[in-house]
């Protein structure tokens, strides 16, 4: 065998499996994707970025969480958060930036923000409604500063422009698309 073994997280077949699970929970806000069987101990936030990023994308690592090797494997160009297509940020810290929100005729230009949180199975209960949610759904999140939901409300006020959030605890993901309404936020 003369070609190197890639760690599981960086294999194309892993990305395909991850993509399917992320797409499913993005279509059904409130549901959680358990990625533990795919991660080999790596963080779910990194797995999300590995699925999204390649050398055509731009990435901002707001809290400096990525190692040099991880950045090399993600292969995305590093830019400031105001210009990035993908952002990695810590849920415990209030966002100090305004991400790309897209344009009226190109709303898909809005950023996807991967926010690391402590837990998606315990913590404050968020009441979700909107597309993909039958009546309401409850999402529990621990480790998400309150400023995040206020910022998200501002960013998504001019729908279809806005940003989409991917919440990640160490092994799980949940998605808050800009179409989801959070009660009281």
Partner 1 sequence: MRPPREDWACALAAADAAAVAALADRIRARATVAPLAPPREGLMLMRMRESVAGGLFHPGEIPMARAHLRLTAPEGAAEGGAALMSDDLALVTRLAILDAALAAGLPEAPEIEALIAQGMAARAGIAARRALALERTRVDFQLLSEEDR
Partner 2 sequence: MAYVAIRGGADAIKGSARLMDALRAMGASAPLELDQIERQMPLLHSRVLSEGGLYHPRLASLALKQSLGDSLEAAFFLRAYRSTKPRLGETAPHDTRAMRIIRRVSAAFKDIPGGQMLGATPDYLHRLFRFELMDEGAERFADIARDWFGDRPGAQTPTTFPKVLDTLRAEGLLPPLADDETPPFDITREPLIFPVPRSAQLSTMARGETGGLLALAYSNMRGYGDVHPTVGELRVGYLPVMVPHPVTGKPMEAGEVLVTECEIVAMFEKADSGAPVFTLGYGACFGHNEVKAIAMAVLDRAISVAREKGRIANPSEDPEFVLLHVDGIESMGFCTHYKMPHYVTFQADMDRLRAARAKTGEAADAPR
- Residue 54 CA to residue 38 CA, distance in Å, equals 19
Out of 56, 108, 135, 184, point to the residue binding partner 2 (CB under 8 A).
56
CA distances 89 to 39, 115, 136, Å, are 20, 5, 27
C-beta closer to partner 2: residue 12 or 184? 12
Part of the chain binding partner 1 (CB under 8 A), chosen from 3-11, 22-30, 34-42, 143-151: 3-11
If one asks whether residue 6 binds partner 1 (CB under 8 A), the answer comes out as yes
Contact 35, 56 (CB under 8 A): no
Window 65-104: contact mask with partner 1 (x via CB under 8 A): ----x--xx-x-----------------------------
If one asks whether residue 4 binds partner 1 (CB under 8 A), the answer comes out as yes
State the nearest-atom distance from the C-beta of 55 to partner 2, in Å.
6
Q: Which two tokens stand for residue 81?
A: 């958060």
Out of 55, 104, 108, 138, point to the residue binding partner 2 (CB under 8 A).
55
State the nearest-atom distance from the C-beta of 6 to partner 1, in Å.
6
Part of the chain binding partner 2 (CB under 8 A), chosen from 49-57, 92-100, 108-116, 160-168: 49-57
Contact 115, 65 (CB under 8 A): no
Q: Which residues bind partner 1 (CB under 8 A)?
A: 2-4, 6, 10, 69, 72-73, 75
Q: Which residues bind partner 2 (CB under 8 A)?
A: 54-56
């Amino acid at each position: 065998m003369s070609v190197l073994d890639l760690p599981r997280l960086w294999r194309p077949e892993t990305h395909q499996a991850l993509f399917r699970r992320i797409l499913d929970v993005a279509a059904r806000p409130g549901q959680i994707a358990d990625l533990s069987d795919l991660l080999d101990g790596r963080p779910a936030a990194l797995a999300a970025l590995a699925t999204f990023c390649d050398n055509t994308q731009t990435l901002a690592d707001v809290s400096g969480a990525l190692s040099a090797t991880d950045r090399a494997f993600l292969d995305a160009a590093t830019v400031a958060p105001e210009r990035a297509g993908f952002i990695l940020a810590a849920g415990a810290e209030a966002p100090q930036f305004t991400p790309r929100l897209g344009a009226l005729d190109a709303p898909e230009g809005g950023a996807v923000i991967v926010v690391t949180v402590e837990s998606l199975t315990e913590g404050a209960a968020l009441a979700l409604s909107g597309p993909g949610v039958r009546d309401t759904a409850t999402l529990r999140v621990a480790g998400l500063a309150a400023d995040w939901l206020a910022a998200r409300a501002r960013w998504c006020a001019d729908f279809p422009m806005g940003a989409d959030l991917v919440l990640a605890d160490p092994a799980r993901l949940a998605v808050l698309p800009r179409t989801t309404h959070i009660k009281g936020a």
